[in-house]
Amino acid sequence: MNSIYSRLTFLSTTFLIFFCVQLNAQNEKSELFQLKTYTFENETQEQLTDEYLSKAYLPALKKLKIDRVGVFKTRPNEKDTLNQLFVLIPFKDFAQFESLNKKLLQDKDYLMQGKNYLQASYDKAPYLRISSTLLKAFKDMPILKPTLLDGPRSERVYELRSYQSPTEELYRNKVKMFNEGGEVSLFNDLGFNAVFYGEVLSGSQMPNLMYMTTFANQESRDAHWKSFVDAPTWKNLSTLPEYQNNVSLNEQFFLYPTEYSDY
């Protein structure tokens, strides 16, 4: 009798733990992401911003318990005359995002280490312009997950995609296609190593969703996308009547991480 009771107690406890884990996963709060894009006219601006980010900005964020910060540069493209740098910052909620700048200005180390950037003169600005996009993580991937890849950082491909929709309703339809439709699951099954999927809450291009996948090199990236296009799941999903015409513009950015990026 004691043996049976012990076994039932063990099973009950195991089920309770499993239930709690599943409940926490379902209730996991979606993070916010800020994607800051720096545009440079020359190498001097880029170097000054690199110094600021690596020696002042990222260390200050870590003191505020903000980590998993990605810093990426665009791969050379003969069509582009301007260089860009992307900074991806996760926040647990809007309050943490809203209070960041105030807290940074109270950090003496940050102000000292970032002096050259922060106090740059009007005629020697450290960038041409900064744009900012605020995103909320998809429910099927509520937390930003940096991908750890082997090999040289210079060879890695972090592919950032922006899917703009013609209307708000069609935008919601595309988000549903990723979640309930199974597009996120397919990317996971095929090993695309996604960093995030996010709904754009505020930005210059809306309605819009963005996501980032990662690969060891360009060859790996091309092979993964071929497997995606050829997958029976995608062939079926892409032809369903309810998911037609929900993307009007697909923009792609091929990036690589800086040496001081968290991933």
Architecture of domain 138-258: 2-Layer Sandwich (3.30)
- pLDDT given at position 109: 98
Whole-number average pLDDT of the chain: 90
- Separation between Cα atoms, residue 207 and residue 160, nearest integer Å: 17
Phi, psi of 16 (to 5 degrees): -65, -40
* Average pLDDT over every residue of 186-192: 97
- Separation between Cα atoms, residue 72 and residue 88, nearest integer Å: 8
Which CATH number applies to 31-136: 3.20.20.140, 3.40.30.10, 3.40.50.1820, 3.30.70.100? Answer: 3.30.70.100
**Per-residue pLDDT for 26 more than 60?**
no
pTM beyond 0.75: the answer is: yes
**Per-residue pLDDT for 204 more than 50?**
yes
- The reply to whether 138-258 shares the fold of 31-136 is yes
- pLDDT given at position 23: 36
- pLDDT given at position 147: 84
Pick from 20-29, 39-48, 145-154 the range whose average pLDDT is largest: 39-48
Domain boundaries, the chain: 31-136, 138-258
pLDDT band, very low/low/confident/very high, at 16 (cuts 50, 70, 90): very low
The three-state DSSP-derived secondary structure of 172-190 is HHHHHHHCCCCHHHHHHHC
> Which tens digits make up the pLDDT trace of 41-82?
999 999 999 999 999 999 999 999 999 999 999 987 656 667
**Per-residue pLDDT for 192 more than 50?**
yes
- Separation between Cα atoms, residue 58 and residue 131, nearest integer Å: 18
Q: Which residue has the higher pLDDT, 143 or 23?
A: 143
> Which tens digits make up the pLDDT trace of 141-151?
999 999 878 88
Phi, psi of 186 (to 5 degrees): -65, -45
* Average pLDDT over every residue of 17-43: 72
* Average pLDDT over every residue of 92-113: 97
- pLDDT given at position 78: 53
> Which tens digits make up the pLDDT trace of 157-176?
999 999 999 999 999 999 99
Helices in the chain by DSSP H: which ranges? 2-26, 43-52, 58-63, 94-104, 108-113, 115-118, 168-178, 183-189, 218-230, 232-237
Q: Which region, left, alpha or beta, applies to residue 65 given φ > 0 means left and ψ of -120 to 50 means alpha?
A: left
**Per-residue pLDDT for 12 more than 70?**
no
Q: What are the C-alpha distances in Å from 55 to residues 59, 61, 256? A: 7, 11, 20
Q: Which residue has the higher pLDDT, 259 or 82?
A: 259
pLDDT band, very low/low/confident/very high, at 17 (cuts 50, 70, 90): very low
- pLDDT given at position 22: 39
- pLDDT given at position 150: 81
- pLDDT given at position 79: 61
pLDDT band, very low/low/confident/very high, at 11 (cuts 50, 70, 90): very low
Q: 63 is written with which tokens?
A: 């003191």
- Separation between Cα atoms, residue 54 and residue 189, nearest integer Å: 35
Sequence-distant (6+) residues with CB within 8 A of 170 are: 207, 245, 246
- pLDDT given at position 99: 97
Q: What is the DSSP letter of 56?
A: I
Q: Considering the chain, what percentage of its residues have pLDDT values greater than 70?
A: 87
Amino acid identity of residue 231, one-letter, is: A
